[in-house]
Amino acid sequence: MMAFPSQPSNQKWCNCLANATANHQRIALKSTLALFLIFAAMVLFHPANAEEPPAGEEHEFEELGVNRYTAPSIAQIFKQLDDLRPLPFDQLKRESPEVAGATREQKGLIFGELIADGFLLVEAEKKSSIENFGRVLLLHARGLGVGDRVMRHSASLTDLGQRGDWPRMRQELITTQADVEQAMIALRDEKMAHLISLGGWLRGLEICAATVELNFSPQRAGTLARPELANYFASELDTLSPSLAHTPLFGKIRAGVKTLQPLLSKTSLSRTDVSAIRAQASQLNDAIRQRK
């Protein structure tokens, strides 16, 4: 005759089953959330004709701890700049940064800033500046060791800009940034992918805040309120290795982002708030370009 398990054993079996079911539900929820974030990013921040991400890439990013804020965070600049047109290009433009003397971490931050500067060129439709931008972007990509990945993008950006095909140039910029980040992932250097995104966000924030400051309205100021991004990057900066976190540059960046968090969390931003955001972002971007 078959022996049935005793009550304690049966209860233990039921508990194991319940735990397994709960774990499965958590995994399913995490996967569903990740897919939702990816879909939302593509719908909200990518052009209609943007390429689909390679199969398996989403899993690889999540596995390495690279949240989907990483790729879309720079692309979001387009959405903000669209809402803030016309842009005062002459007040916002900058000279191309130098490569010599920069640390590898600085190079990652600067590369992200360059992508944001490229967005500014696209929004202002500056054909005459595109060719030089492509050369500078390639130079900095070589400094990161990913020149081969960016070379074809550089040529395409130059061609599209000279032809005035701004929608496709948008797509190419987004793809360039994602391609470089993917190269960092392939090198198991997910922190560098975060730094590229952080640099793009800080420069984009400076551009947007300066634009709002020059032509202030509460509605325009509301486009700056993105506390989730400030909180995300603050959290990432707290995970840096002590040797990097305690350098003067990253000490300044960590303090600056923490200063930005409460400002970007306000439900209503005043002109004074916008000026403070612009000033803080500008100081951090200047610090990123400084050499020791």
pLDDT at 6: 46
Which tens digit of pLDDT belongs to each residue from 117-166?
998 999 889 998 999 999 999 999 888 888 888 888 989 999 999 999 99
Q: Quick one: pLDDT band at residue 4, thresholds 50, 70, 90?
A: very low
Q: How far apart are CA 259 and CA 279, in angstroms?
A: 11
Q: Where are the domains of the chain?
A: 70-289
Look at residue 41 and tell me whether its pLDDT is greater than 50: no
pLDDT at 233: 92
Evaluate the CA torsion angle 98, 99, 103, 107 in order and state its sign.
positive
Q: How far apart are CA 278 and CA 14, in angstroms?
A: 58
pLDDT at 58: 46
Look at residue 180 and tell me whether its pLDDT is greater than 80: yes
Q: How far apart are CA 118 and CA 202, in angstroms?
A: 14
Evaluate the CA torsion angle 92, 96, 101, 105 in order and state its sign.
positive
Is the pLDDT higher at 65 or at 187? 187
Longest Cα pair distance anywhere in the chain, in angstroms? 90
* Token pair 């005759």 in the structure block, residue: 1
Least confident of 49-58, 226-235, 268-277: 49-58
**For all residues of the chain together, what is the average pLDDT?**
77
pTM: 0.74
pLDDT at 183: 81
Which tens digit of pLDDT belongs to each residue from 233-281?
999 999 999 999 999 999 999 999 999 999 999 989 999 999 999 999 9
Which tens digit of pLDDT belongs to each residue from 24-33?
444 343 333 3
Let me know: does 281 contact 253? Beta carbons within 8 Å: no
Q: How far apart are CA 274 and CA 221, in angstroms?
A: 7
Which tens digit of pLDDT belongs to each residue from 181-223?
788 877 777 788 889 889 999 999 999 999 999 999 999 999 8
Look at residue 8 and tell me whether its pLDDT is greater than 60: no
